[in-house]
Structure 1
Amino acid sequence: MLRVDPRQRTRLEQIIRNLGERTDEARTNGWQGEVEGLKVSLHAAQNKLATLDRAARNTPRPAPLGMPSIPPKTP
């Protein structure tokens, strides 16, 4: 399975919208076979988006450690 680059999230959202529009068009025109194929593609794209969101939630964030302080030398 290919991993989706998180920077491509907006593109994946566009693809999902487009697949929805194409599914509606196919339904309107009575292209039942096309509707079924588009539904499979739409479901796969939605799953990829969910996987991307899940990975983003589970990615550990670096903890802010702050700047270390070095005590001054005593003569």
Structure 2
Amino acid sequence: MIARIAEAKTEGWLGEAEGLQVSLAGAEEKLRRLDRGQGQHTAVDLGIPSTRGDR
């Protein structure tokens, strides 16, 4: 994506470059949130599946 931003700037596609920079910033923020969430997983009880005869 960084290469695409550089290309857009070189070609004078300023709107495209800005849009790509916004997308990159969003992706980087999402990665930071995911990294901070490491180790904070909780177990979820999904229950015991039943068969048709269990009803």
Return the TM-score normalized by structure 1.
0.50
Matched, 1:47 2:26: no
What's the offset of the Cα at 1:21?
1.2
Percent identity reads 49
| Larger-Rg structure | 1
Larger RCO (CA within 8 A; separation ≥ 6):
1
Matched, 1:23 2:9: no
Query: Which runs of 5 or more residues in structure 1 are unaligned?
Result: 1-18, 61-75
- After superposition, give the CA deviation of every residue in 1:11-62 in whole Å (9 maximum; x if it has no partner): xxxxxxxx21110110111110101100110010000100110001x526xx
State the one-letter code of the partner of 1:39: Q
Return the TM-score normalized by structure 2.
0.66
State the one-letter code of the partner of 2:40: T
Give 4+ residue runs of structure 1 displaced > 3 Å after superposition. none
